Structure 1
């Protein structure tokens, strides 16, 4: 597992177990059992969260969002990487190198 916080589109990301996620008016909210904190992932963050329920490259998450929303690939990539770095910092996801 990668410990640093600078991610690239080639990294593989997936959820860490032990989180309770619920839908509230179209937004995902989560309780981390491990650290006892609540998180509001929002609508797009919830979409990203759904995509990473199995190991997937960040590049594939970006590709899926670009087809679903009216956003440029570069902008989407920057925002997805930033969001995932925050989740990584909170210990909510794990990152591995693509094999």
Structure 2
């Protein structure tokens, strides 16, 4: 899983196009039109997905989740990056480097 090492908290992420997301008992379920697969994002994954409606840095995702939930920042960062890597592997998101100095 070298993707986790490649992903930086300074990268911007946003939802990819062509995904249909539904709420099922508090968890997000997604159908990717592009690859014809269903994904259960779960409760936390659904929260992250919603935060990615507009481009957002991974650092901002982590900060927002840490302010909402009682979670250690390092643990949150590791789990968010792992989740982002899975979404990236499935071509469900768009990623770009931040151009700000």
Per the TM superposition, whether the score is higher than 0.5 is yes
Q: How many residues align?
A: 96
Structure 1, unmatched stretches of 5+, are: none
Calculate the TM-score normalised by the size of structure 1.
0.94
Q: CA deviation at 1:29?
A: 0.2
Q: Secondary structure at the match of 1:60?
A: helix
Match of 1:82 in 2: 82
Match of 1:31 in 2: 31
Q: Secondary structure at the match of 1:61?
A: helix
CA-based RMSD: 1.0
Distance 1:85 1:53 in 2: 17
Match of 1:61 in 2: 61
Calculate the TM-score normalised by the size of structure 2.
0.92
Q: Which runs of 4+ in 1 moved over 2 A?
A: none
